[in-house]
Chain A
């Protein structure tokens, strides 16, 4: 069967899946095999390798002594995992498990470890944390988790087509927001949600992170990015839980993506990865900049403001 669909709307993905009576992931795998001129087994094998790279981030990322190149971050995943292992969490091991895994992948990224940009390096912890928690804490099979990554990718392609996935273009909502929406879609399908529920999860996840700015301290993918990965995977579970309970999103997924694009366009450039606004220019943010680079951060203009 020839699969004719483009990744230009979530609604089209849902309609195609309903018509075929199959999950979105099955259609995406089939279509991608045609697109890449490979067979389905080969494309699945490549995704399996991608998932293996994600899974291999957890142990090194949880190293107590892991530190980023700048020295600013590292070791949070170790603390979070320890709390989970000791049963000292408020919300239980599923959320705790998702949090430490997201921290682990993000901290490993900051420490020049090997990661999968998903969709970006800055948001690389969210989707792995979601899928590995579904597999290891909730018992879903590895193959099912790999299939769910196709649904996540399809959502990512729609967002990249109609909005953007880069913090420099759309702020953190475009980066961690897209990753959270992709993860919410994957969790929902994996847990047995219908294609419409997948779309609702996408919309809810993105709505809840709408407007978040990209304001990295010293321009590095560390503060606040690492903790926003933890928050991103939590948001993905929040959205999936609601969608699976049958709660619909009043605003459809495609309109939410459109709104994200508009909010990103309206955002000041100082809040889009330039490190010229938000947390980056707080007194502590500036102090950390000096600590890493030995000079004062901020604008590259006359330097007068820094001398006062």
Chain B
């Protein structure tokens, strides 16, 4: 803990969990898609579903999806900006089984019909936990530099990725694998000490059996 954890974050109100955290979940969804989304479907659960209008949770999520930071003063106009940028947004309050009370499930689709689905929870003080990527369980807090690598579940793929990291002197502090089924699509989430350039990410993406690699920098 440091002084700026107590006097901070600098954020758009009114609520660190319902507004700042929501923007961060949206940003990660956008980073995972990697391209400009044209469509966003947002399911809201629990307190998010009940109070999103009053807290501006919808606006914060949309702003995050457009890449805005939690302290961006354009957040309150984000639905309008989305419309201007050709992003169509649907928001549905719903119930998601076994989810944290402040949970959103976001599906983003780009102009080439490429899409990604992310589920995340805002767990207090603007901190978040992404719990699912394309239906696969993950645990991403965004507090470390994080690689999210979607790949085909084949022998040697994990070793190939960690070899690239080892060659760049990267220290892994957390590694997690989740897959839809044996031999199907799988996701590696790798948390690392320090921060790195996107060259590392490109080298991983060029490996065989890698579908996509996204690097999230800590905030």
In the docked arrangement, what's the CA distance between A161 and B6, Å?
A: 11
**Interface residues as binary, A106-141 with B (CB distance below 8 Å gives 1, 0 otherwise):** 001111111111111110100100000000000000
Residue ID in chain A nearest B78 by CB atoms? A112
Contact A121/B11 with A50-B4, A69-B55, A70-B53 known, Cβ cut-off 8 Å: yes
Asked if B54 and A219 make an inter-chain contact with CB atoms under 8 angstroms apart, the answer reads: yes
CB distance from A285 to the nearest CB of B (A): 13
Asked if A113 and B3 make an inter-chain contact with CB atoms under 8 angstroms apart, the answer reads: no
In the docked arrangement, what's the CA distance between A255 and B38, Å?
A: 56
Check: B67 CB closer than 8 A to any chain A CB: no
In the docked arrangement, what's the CA distance between A219 and B14, Å?
A: 11
B1-41 interface (Cβ within 8 A of A):
1-16, 19-20
Question: Which one of B69-77, B105-113, B144-152, B154-162 is at the interface?
Answer: B69-77
In the docked arrangement, what's the CA distance between A161 and B54, Å?
A: 31
Contact A50/B10 with A114-B71, A121-B16 known, Cβ cut-off 8 Å: yes
Residues of B within 8 A of A116 (CB): 7-11
Check: A222 CB closer than 8 A to any chain B CB: yes
Asked if A220 and B54 make an inter-chain contact with CB atoms under 8 angstroms apart, the answer reads: yes
Asked if A69 and B14 make an inter-chain contact with CB atoms under 8 angstroms apart, the answer reads: yes
Contact A293/B53 with A113-B13, A166-B125, A221-B13 known, Cβ cut-off 8 Å: yes
Q: How many residues on chain B are close to A (CB under 8 Å)?
A: 33
Q: How many residues on chain A are close to B (CB under 8 Å)?
A: 52
Check: A32 CB closer than 8 A to any chain B CB: yes
Asked if A36 and B2 make an inter-chain contact with CB atoms under 8 angstroms apart, the answer reads: yes
A66-102 interface (Cβ within 8 A of B):
68-70, 72
Top 4 A-B pairs, shortest CB-CB distance: A109-B13, A156-B6, A153-B3, A112-B76
A-B contact pairs, 9 of them (CB 8 A): A69-B76, A112-B59, A113-B13, A114-B13, A149-B3, A166-B124, A182-B6, A219-B51, A220-B51
Q: Which residues of A contact B (CB under 8 A)?
A: 7, 28, 32, 35-36, 43, 46-47, 50, 53, 68-70, 72, 108-122, 124, 127, 149-150, 152-154, 156-157, 160-161, 165-166, 168, 182, 218-222, 292-293, 300
